[in-house]
Amino acid sequence: MENLRFKRVLFKLSGEALAGNKGFGIDPETVSAFCGQIVEAAEMGVQLAMVIGGGNIFRGMSASASGMDRASADYMGMLATVMNAVAVQDALEKLGLCTRVLSAITMREVCEPYIRRRAIHHLEKGRVVICAAGTGNPYFTTDTAAALRAMELKTQAIIKGTKVDGVYDKDPKTNPDAVMFDRLTYMDVLEKQLKVMDSTAVTLAMDNSMPIVVFNMFVPGNLKKVVTGQKAGTIVE
- Contact residues for ligand UDP, defined by CB under 6 A: 14-16, 53-55, 59-61, 73-74, 77-78, 80-81, 134-135, 137-138, 140-143, 145
> In angstroms, what CA-CA distances link 56 with 16, 77, 116, 209?
5, 10, 27, 30
Q: Which is nearer to ligand UDP, 75 or 224 (CB)?
A: 75
Q: Are 233 and 176 in contact (CB under 8 A)?
A: no
Please identify the residue of the shown chain whose CB is closest to the bound ligand UDP.
53
Output the smallest distance, CB 136 to ligand UDP, in A.
6
**Closest CB to ligand UDP among 27 and 143?**
143
Write down the least CB distance from residue 16 to ligand UDP, Å: 6
Shortest spacing between CB 228 and ligand UDP, in angstroms? 26
Give yes or no for a contact between 51 and 129, defined as CB atoms under 8 angstroms apart.
Answer: no
Q: Quick one: 61 or 187, whose CB is closer to ligand UDP?
A: 61
How far, in Å, CA of 187 to CA of 207, rounded?
11
Which residue intervals of the chain are DSSP H helices? Answer: 16-19, 28-43, 60-65, 70-94, 116-124, 142-152, 186-192, 199-207, 222-227
Of 133 and 184, the one with the shorter C-beta distance to ligand UDP is: 133
* Least gap, CB of 34 to ligand UDP (angstroms): 15
**Of 15 and 166, which has the nearer Cβ to ligand UDP?**
15
Minimum distance of ligand UDP from residue 145's CB (angstroms): 5
Cα(16)–Cα(165) distance, integer angstroms: 16
The angle formed by the CA atoms of residues 233, 148 and 19, to the nearest 5 degrees, is 55
